[in-house]
Amino acid sequence: MARLYFASRSGWLVFSAATAAGAVAGALLSAVVLLFQSRGEPMGEWAVAERACAQHAYRSERDTCMKQWLATSRATSVASK
């Protein structure tokens, strides 16, 4: 019966492959985090707006309500003379 002989793995090869995989995973994770942080409103404001507009049954009404709620919460009053 023939036996298969596999080359033994070097410790450095395993270490460098694991390091490369960790670097790629870290780069992907940081890219996703930066993408979420750079787009739109923070998730906390969206969650509060969604709770404030929960009474709307239709998604389109809820989205409109949320956009209006976010706009009014961010509006700054300008003092007039």
For 36-75, write each residue's pLDDT tens digit: 777 666 777 888 888 999 998 899 999 999 999 888 887 7
Take residue 72 and report the two structure tokens written for it.
């009014």
Per-residue pLDDT, 21: 97
Take residue 35 and report the two structure tokens written for it.
């993408």
57 three-state secondary structure: coil
Same domain, 22 and 34: yes
Q: How many distinct structural domains can be found in the chain? A: 2
Residue 79 placed within a domain: no
Same domain, 16 and 33: yes
What's the whole-number average pLDDT of the chain?
82
Please indicate, yes or no, whether the overall pTM of this predicted structure exceeds 0.85: no
Residue 55 placed within a domain: yes
Same domain, 68 and 46: yes
Residue 7 placed within a domain: no
Residue 3 placed within a domain: no
Q: Which residue has the higher pLDDT, 8 or 68?
A: 68
Q: How far apart are CA 64 and CA 26, in angstroms?
A: 37
Domain containing 19: what range?
12-38
Residue 80 placed within a domain: no
